[in-house]
Amino acid sequence: MKTIQSNFFSKKILLSIFLVFLSLSFTSCAKKVTFQSSSVVPAARGQVTIKKDNNKNYLIKVKIDNLAEVKRLESSKNAYVIWIETDESIVKNVGQIKSDTKFMSSKLKASFETVTAFKPSKIFITAENNADVQYPGSEVILETKKI
Cα–Cα distance, 11 to 27 (Å, whole number):
25
Cα–Cα distance, 107 to 24 (Å, whole number):
35
Tell me if residue 37 falls in helix, strand or coil. coil
Residue 73: pLDDT above 60?
yes
Residue 140: pLDDT above 70?
yes
pLDDT band at 79 (very low <50, low <70, confident <90, very high): very high
Residue 137: pLDDT above 80?
yes
pLDDT in the model for residue 30: 83
For residues 44 and 100, the model is more confident at 44
For residues 18 and 2, the model is more confident at 18
Cα–Cα distance, 106 to 66 (Å, whole number):
9
Condensed to tens digits (0 to 9), the pLDDT of residues 25-70 reads: 554 578 999 999 889 999 999 999 999 999 999 999 999 999 988 8
The DSSP symbol for 131 reads T
Residue 96: pLDDT above 90?
yes
Residue 19: pLDDT above 80?
no
For residues 109 and 84, the model is more confident at 84
pTM of the model: 0.77
Percent of the chain with pLDDT over 90: 61
Condensed to tens digits (0 to 9), the pLDDT of residues 105-118 reads: 556 889 999 999 99
